[in-house]
């Protein structure tokens, strides 16, 4: 019955007056929503890509919709109490994709809005691709069966394969060593350019490891290694964090607080309210939803109190 209720609720939300009422209800509760994006492309991404991608024209339309149904604010303002008839939304972009500078920044500037870019700063250390970028190439080159054989693991899909690799540093290193990818990340001048354009730059850790898997020493190192270089690259303090793979727990959150960060963001798709733990804030990734589906999903997510 619960599943039927959810389906009926989403069906009802397809009607514009109901969606508008849902937005007003979210604003009355003080709910806001942080949106998360990864790679932004020229056109639709290949079906085998592991990282969610959004064509830049669709991104622009999604952001226009956000401005029509709510108010776009900087990410760090989202947990601050505010009264109004429209909910607040904030934009964040993870990882060091070159498209942040080539596609995302022009869209944000054209619309007059700001975003927060959670970067690793890998080019500042002459580091190559993230392991999941290498895995995408490996699957494209060798196929799923060939990649399974190379890694010695079982997985029915590329997504399952990525889930197996996510907690394993050994598998990640094996994946990276098996491919030769040209540099594809934001370069130092582009990283600085984001800050110069008025965007906020946060940290996403240099090596993108799951913080929940690390011991105290490893956790401290992950939170600090590369942070100062990123600060030097943009000429300002970096005190916002996005957890790699969106995963955190109370121990990790306490370490982040102790390391001097002001806020930290998970991948839990739930609204943000004043009074939420500032080190366990949620974000939702819409992906390439068309306009109608995007608005409907938005109305659901900004009202849903999903537990971690």
Strands in 120-167 per DSSP E: none
Backbone φ and ψ of 35, nearest 5°: -100, 145
- Both tokens of 249, joined, read 């727990």
pTM of the model: 0.92
The label of the residue with tokens 């490893």 reads 218
CA distance 174 to 142: 14
pLDDT reading at 165 higher than 50:
yes
Backbone φ and ψ of 240, nearest 5°: -115, 145
pLDDT of residue 47: 60
* Nearest alpha-carbon partner for 115 in 88, 75, 66, 87: 75
Per-residue confidence band for 238, with pLDDT thresholds at 50, 70 and 90: very high
> What is the per-residue pLDDT across 188-199, written as a single tens digit (0 to 9) for each?
999 999 999 999
pLDDT reading at 302 higher than 50:
yes
CA distance 98 to 40: 9
- A 10 A CB-CB count for 56 gives 17
- Residue bearing the bigger pLDDT, 82 or 121: 121
By the 10 Å C-beta count (0-12 exposed, 13-18 middle, 19+ buried), 273 is classed as middle
Coil, strand or helix at 238: coil
The DSSP 8-state label assigned to residue 246 in this structure reads G
Weakest-pLDDT range from 46-55, 67-76, 107-116, 193-202: 46-55
CA distance 298 to 88: 11
Q: What is the mean pLDDT of residues 128-135?
A: 91
By the 10 Å C-beta count (0-12 exposed, 13-18 middle, 19+ buried), 11 is classed as exposed
- Residue bearing the bigger pLDDT, 57 or 82: 57
Q: What is the mean pLDDT of residues 269-294?
A: 94
Q: What is the mean pLDDT of residues 55-80?
A: 95
Angle at 91 between CA 89 and CA 96, to 5 degrees: 170
Per-residue confidence band for 69, with pLDDT thresholds at 50, 70 and 90: very high
Q: What is the mean pLDDT of residues 13-32?
A: 82
- Both tokens of 133, joined, read 């970028």
């Amino acid at each position: 019955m619960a599943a039927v209720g959810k389906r009926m609720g989403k069906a009802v939300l397809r009607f514009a007056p109901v969606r508008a009422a849902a937005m007003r209800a979210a604003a009355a509760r003080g709910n806001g929503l942080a949106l998360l994006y990864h790679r932004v492309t020229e056109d639709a991404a290949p079906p085998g890509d592991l990282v969610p991608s959004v064509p830049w024209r669709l991104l622009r339309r999604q952001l226009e919709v956000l401005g029509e149904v709510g108010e776009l604010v900087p990410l760090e303002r989202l947990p601050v109490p505010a009264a109004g008839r429209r909910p607040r939304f904030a934009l964040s972009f993870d990882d060091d994709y070159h498209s942040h500078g080539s596609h995302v920044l022009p869209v944000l500037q054209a619309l007059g809005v700001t975003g927060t870019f959670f970067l690793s700063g890998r080019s500042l250390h002459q580091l190559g691709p993230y392991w999941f970028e290498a895995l995408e190439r490996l699957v494209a080159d060798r196929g799923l069966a060939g990649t399974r054989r190379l890694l010695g693991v079982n997985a029915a899909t590329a997504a399952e394969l990525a889930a197996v690799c996510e907690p394993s540093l050994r598998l990640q290193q094996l994946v990276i060593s098996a491919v030769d990818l040209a540099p594809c990340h934001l370069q130092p001048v582009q990283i600085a350019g984001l800050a110069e354009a008025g965007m906020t730059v946060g940290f996403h850790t240099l090596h993108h490891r799951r913080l929940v898997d690390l011991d105290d020493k490893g956790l401290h190192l992950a939170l600090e290694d590369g942070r100062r270089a990123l600060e030097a690259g943009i000429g300002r303090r970096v005190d916002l964090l996005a957890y790699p793979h969106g995963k955190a727990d109370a121990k990790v959150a306490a370490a982040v607080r102790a390391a001097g960060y002001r806020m930290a963001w998970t991948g839990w798709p739930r609204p943000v309210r004043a009074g939420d733990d500032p080190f366990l804030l949620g974000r939702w990734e819409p992906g390439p939803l068309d306009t109608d589906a995007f608005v409907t999903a938005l109305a659901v997510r900004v009202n849903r109190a999903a537990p971690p």
